[in-house]
Amino acid sequence: MTLTYDDLLATITDPGGREILDPATGDLVGRAPFRSVETLDEAITRAKAAQPAWAGRTDDQRKEMLLAAADAIDAAAEPLAELLSREQGKPLNGPNARFEVGACTNWLRATAETDLPDLTLIDDGETHAELHYRPLGVVGAIGPWNWPMMITVWQIAPALRMGNTTVVKPSEYTPLSVLALAHVLNTALPQDVLTVVAGDGELGARLAGHPDIAKLMFTGSTRTGQAIIKSSADTVKRLTLELGGNDAGIVLPDVDPKAIAQDLFWGAFINTGQTCAALKRLYVHTDVYDDVCSALTDVTSAMPMGRGLDENNVLGPLQNKAQYDIVSRLVDAARDSGARILTGGDPDSEGPGYFYPATLVADIDSDNPLVVEEQFGPALPIIRVESIDEAVELANALDVGLGSSVWSADADAARAVAARIQAGTVWINSHGGVHPMIPFGGVKMSGYGLEFGVEGLKSVSAPQVING
C-alpha cells in the first residue's frame, strides 16, 4: 500500500499539539506532539534497555536493517518531500526537498556499507595489541530546522550502524518532518532503537546533561553549542558539534566570471541561504570584481522564488520570522552604510510568507555587520580585495571556520591558497558540497568532531585496546 501525504501526517500529529505553520503561506501544516522532560527521560530509559540487544546483533544484521530503512524512505519519498516543503518552506525541486529526502537514503546506504574493521596495532612475537571500536550506549541528537531530515540521518545513521540506540530532539520549528522520517525508518528498525521526542529547548538541555546519554551530536548555533558544552561537563559526555559557519569564498584574478557564476550562486543560495556551510562572504580580486558582480547578478535575478509546492520554484521563504528579521536588519544596515544593492533587498511586506529576495550587496566594507555576522539567509556581501594576501587575511579574521572556497582557473594556485585558510573544509571551484565518505567538521568556534565516512563511525564509538 502506498503511503499518502495525509496518511503520513495523521500518524505523527496530535490534535492538542503545537501549531506548525507553513512559512510560505501561514497555513496550518499540522499540530506537533510537544512532550515533557519526563517523556524524554522515559524514552532514554527505553533506549538504554534496547541497546544491548541492538549491539548484540551481528554487524551484517545492522547493515541490512539500515538498508531496509533506506528502502522505506524511497517508498515514502514524495509524501516526505511534500511535508518537508510545507513545514520548512524549501521548494520541491532544485537542491531542496526532494534532494534532501534522496540524501537521507544515500547517507543511510553509504553508512551501512562503510566498514570500521578491528586493527592489529603490533604483533612482533612479544607484544600483541588490537584496536576495537565498541558501541557507546545511547546517542542523543539535536537537529536544526534548515535541513531537518538530512542532518538527522547524518547523526543517527552512524550511531545505529555502530550498535548504539538513539534519541532525537528535533528543532521546534520543524518537528513534523523529523517525526515523519522516524515513523518511516521505524518500519525497518526494532522498537526503541530510534526515538524522536519533540518539544521546547528544555529537552535539548536535558539531553545534554542526562547521565544515560553517552554521546550528543548537535548541529546549530555557536551559542547553543557553548551551552551544551557546559551542560555536558558533569557527565563528561562525548560531543560532536557542528556550529555556525559564515563561510568565506576567495575569487582569484584568473577566473572566467561567467563560467563560475552559477556555482557561486548555488554555493551561497542553496536552501535560500539557510545552510551552515553556505558561502556567506565573497572576497573578489579587484581585477575581476566588476565582471563577477555582473555575472552573478544575471544568474541571481533569474532564479524563481515562491511557494515550495510550485514545481517551478527553486528558492523559498525563510523558515521563520526571527531569521527573516535578521536578514532584513543586516541588509538594511549595509544599504544605510553606503553599500550598493545589485539585486534584491526589497521584500514585499504585503504578501504572506517570510520571503526575502535573493540579494547581492557590493562595495561593502569588510567590517560591515552583513560580512562579519552570519546572516543565514539569501543575502551575499561581495568584498573587493587588492591582493590574495588581503583576501586570506580577511577570510581568517573571524572566529569561525566551518567551510570556505577558492575559485581559480589554476588548480595548483587554488590549492596553495586553500592551505592558508583556517577552515575544516576548503572547496575548489565549488562551495558546500558534502559526500558521505568525506569527513566534515569545523575549526575555531564552528565546533569540533568529524562526521561522515570512517571518521564518522569512529566518532560514535568507544575505542578499546586489547593488549596481550
Q: Which residues contact 367 (CB under 8 A, 6 or more apart)?
A: none
| CA–CA distance, 8 with 80 (Å, rounded to integer) | 8
Q: Concatenated DSSP letters for 76-143?
A: THHHHHHHHHHHH---SSSSSHHHHHHHHHHHHHHHHT-----EEEEESSS-EEEEEEEE-SEEEEE-
Q: List the grid coordinates of 79.
A: 509524501
Longest dimension (CA), the chain: 79
Instruction: Give me the active site residues, please.
Output: 242, 276
Report yes or no: 223 and 199 within 8 Å, Cβ to Cβ: no
The residue assigned the cell 570556505 is: 404
Single-letter amino acid, residue 56: G
Q: How many CB atoms lie within 10 A of CB 294?
A: 14
Question: Alpha-carbon distance 346 to 359, whole Å?
Answer: 9
If DSSP codes are grouped into helix, strand and coil, which group holds residue 273? helix
Residue 243 buriedness (CB in 10 A; 0-12 / 13-18 / 19+): buried
